[in-house]
Amino acid sequence: MRFLIVIPTLNEHRNISIIYKKIVNLYKKANILFIDDNSDDGSKKEILDLRKKDKKVNYIFRKKKLGIGSAHKLGIKTARNNNYQFVCTMDCDGTHNPKNIKTMFKYIKKYNIVMTTRFKKKNSLKGWPLIRIIITKMRYYLVSLILGTKLDSSGGFRLYDLKKIKLKDIFLAKDNNYNFLWESAFILELKKYKIAEIPIILPNRTLGSSKMSLNDIFYGLIYLLKVFVIFKL
């Protein structure tokens, strides 16, 4: 089956080849689109080297950091414009296991979107520092409490059936960074799309570093209240 895997990158040069090898070993017909936010660590060279040996690898190099949310939007729009029915979004940091895509495809037949959840499997946050577990669970409970959704909506590992989804509904999510993930999930749920969640184990990254800052976390809280006012009041 021909489908597109969208992978946003920002200074992930040590992970790019690793995730590429895992994907092609499992999915020979998958096309990969790296969307890079002006990395300065050699990520672009890694992607170009992969492209030289595999024409199913494509890339978009952006001139500045535009955010992971905008990368997801661009990837999904690119998939639609190139007539892909299915598009999978995933991280490049090694925490999203490509093996789970097979399970996602089993569910997509009856659903419009398949998301992954970190909260339905025992010891799913394998090797995470305690502070990261606390922040992640607090964000989940806050989004659930304020917006009334039970989805693990801040995860970016998803499979979309673009024949069943209106692109304009995804683009109702206005944030271009991390908040896009829970905002888009909330809006798609509000629009009555059929959404499945599959449990996964999400190990702590072993190479590179997280790009989320304290400013991102604090802004996320403010943005959450803004979305509540727009959609719930």
Which tens digits make up the pLDDT trace of 184-218? 999 999 999 999 999 998 887 777 777 777 788 88
Q: Are 152 and 197 in contact (CB under 8 A)?
A: yes
Q: What pLDDT does residue 141 have?
A: 87
Considering only residues 32 and 142, tell me which one the structure prediction assigns the higher pLDDT.
32
Assign a CATH topology to domain 4-232: Spore Coat Polysaccharide Biosynthesis Protein SpsA; Chain A (3.90.550)
Strand 113-117's sheet: what is its strand order?
57-61, 31-36, 4-9, 86-89, 158-161, 113-117, 195-199
Tally: H helices and E strands in the chain: 8, 7
Domain ranges of the chain: 4-232
pLDDT tens string 133-178: 888 888 888 898 999 988 988 889 999 999 999 999 999 999 999 9
DSSP 204-224: PP-SS-----HHHHHHHHHHH
Q: Would you tell me how many other CB atoms lie within 10 Å of the CB of residue 154?
A: 18
Q: What pLDDT does residue 233 have?
A: 58
Across the range 113-134, mean pLDDT stands at: 84
Q: What pLDDT does residue 232 have?
A: 72
For Cα atoms 121, 125, 128, give the angle at the middle one, nearest 5 degrees: 165
Q: What pLDDT does residue 52 have?
A: 97
Across the range 35-51, mean pLDDT stands at: 96
